[in-house]
Amino acid sequence: MVGGGQLALMGVGAVASFFMAWTVGAGWTPYAPSVGARTMSIMRGALFTGIFGILGAVVQGANVTEAMSAGLIEGVTISPIAAVIALTVAAGLVAIGVFTGYPLATAFTATGAVIGVGLALGGQPAYAKYQQILALWVLTPFICGGIAYGLARVVRRDDVPDEYTIPLFGGLVGLILANSPFTFLAPESGGASIAAVLAEALPLQPLIGLISATLLVGIIVAVLLLVDVRASVRQGQRHLLFGIGALVSFSAGGSQVGLAVGPLVPMLTPLELPLLVILVFGGLGVMFGALMGSPRMIKALARDFSSLGPRRATAALIPAFAIAQTAVLFGIPVSFNEIVVSAVVGSGYAAGGGQTSRGKILYTILGWVVSLLLSFIIAFGLLAIVKMV
C-alpha cells in the first residue's frame, strides 16, 4: 500500500524526471551536421530528432536506465527525496546550458548528481563502473574526433569520387547497425543484435557466423546505396545523411533516456510498473524536449562550431553512431553532446580548422567539467541539509 505522502513524492519525482527528460531532448543535436550541410532545415531536424529519439528510448533504453538506477552507488538504494534532488539539480543545470546556447553534458550533470546524493546517503563508490565511464568520457573526443577527421580527409580527396564513398560509408553504418543491441530481438536476455540472431540461423561456427552475418548486413546497405547513387549522386548523399541522422537520433534515445528515468526507477518500485512504461514516459519527455528546445542547440552546433558540407557531415555522424551504440551496449551514461561536438570538430579540422570556433570549443569543455563538479556538490549538499532538517 502506497501512502498519500509517498504518492505525492512520487508525483514530484515524476515531474522532475519528465523535466529532466525534456532538457535531455532539448539538448540533442544529431541532425546538426545535416543542418550545417544545408540538406535539412532546423525545424525538420528537431522533428526527426524527436521521432527517432522516442523510438530509441523505448527499444534501447533499458541498459543505461539500470545503470543510473542502481549501478553508480553501492550499498544503498536511492531514496525518493534523493531522486527528486538529483533529477532537479541535473535538469536545472542542463536547462541553463540549453537556454544559453552552450551544450552542457547531460551525462555529466546526471551522473554527478546521482553520485552526490548516493554518497550523502552513506553509499560506497562503484569504482569499477566509474572506470568504465571515465574511460569512455576521456577517449570519446580522441576516438570520435579522430575517426571523423580521417573519414573527412578521405571524402575530400579528388581521386575518391562520391559514387564510391557513399556506398562505402553506408556499408560501415551497416556493420555498426548489425551489432547494435535491440531489446525486442531477445527480451528474455536483455536484447540481442541483428548479427547475433542471423548467426544462430547459419550453419556455421558461432564466431564465423557472427562475422558473416555482420558482413551480410553491411553489404546489403552498401548495395542499396550503390543503386541509389547510380540514379543520382546527390540523392544518394542526402539519403545516407538522413539515414545516419536517424540512427544517431535513435541511439541518442537509447543512451540518454536512462539519465532522466534511471533515478526514478527505485522510487516507483512499490507501484510495480513495467520498465517499458517508464521508458515510454521518458521517451515522451525527450521527444517533446527535442521538438521544443533542440532547434537552439542544433543551430549552435551547425553554425557556431564548424560549417560542414554533406561529405564531412556524413563523416562526423558515423563515429557518433558507433560511440553511442557502444554506450548503449555496456550501459554507460555518456554525453551525447560530447560525442557530436567531438565528431563535428574532428570533421571540421579536416578542412584545416579554419571554420572551427576554438573559443566556443574551450567554453564548452569548461562547461562540461564545471557541470560535473557543480551537480555533485549541489546534490550532495542539498541532501545533507535535508537529512539534518
pLDDT tens-digit series, residues 81-92:
888 888 888 878
pLDDT digits (tens, 9 = 90+) for 340-382: 778 878 877 776 654 555 666 677 777 778 888 999 999 999 9
pLDDT digits (tens, 9 = 90+) for 213-252: 999 999 999 999 999 888 888 888 888 888 888 888 888 8
The whole-angstrom separation of Cα 275 and Cα 17 is 14
Residues 6 or more apart in contact with residue 169 via CB below 8 angstroms: 151, 240, 314, 315, 318
pLDDT above 70: residue 384? yes
> From residue 22, how far is each of 138, 293, 303 by CA, in Å?
26, 8, 23
The whole-angstrom separation of Cα 171 and Cα 150 is 17
> DSSP string spanning 2-37?
--HHHHHHHHHHHHHHHHHHHHHHHT--TTHHHHHT
Closest Cα partner for 326 from 60, 22, 20? 60
Task: Check if the beta carbon of residue 95 is closer than 8 Å to that of residue 109.
Answer: no
Average pLDDT, the chain: 82
Task: Check if the beta carbon of residue 75 is closer than 8 Å to that of residue 119.
Answer: no
Query: Which percentage of the chain shows pLDDT scores above 70?
Result: 88
The whole-angstrom separation of Cα 30 and Cα 370 is 24
For residue 174, what pLDDT is reported?
93
pLDDT mean over 130-146:
88
**Range of lowest pLDDT (22-36, 280-294, 347-361):** 347-361
Q: CA gyration radius for the chain?
A: 21
pLDDT above 80: residue 302? no
Task: Check if the beta carbon of residue 235 is closer than 8 Å to that of residue 228.
Answer: yes
Q: Which domain holds residue 338?
A: 4-388
For residue 202, what pLDDT is reported?
84
Q: Which residues pair with 182 in a beta bridge?
A: 192
Half-sphere exposure of 214 (CA within 13 A, CB side): 15
Top mean pLDDT of 24-28, 87-91, 131-135, 324-328 is at 131-135
Closest Cα partner for 325 from 238, 223, 195? 195
pLDDT above 70: residue 146? yes
pLDDT above 70: residue 103? no
> End-to-end CA distance of the chain, in Å?
27
Per the structure, how many domains does the chain have?
Answer: 1
Q: What H or E segment, with its residue span, contains residue 193?
A: strand 192-193
Considering the entire predicted model, what is its pTM?
0.80
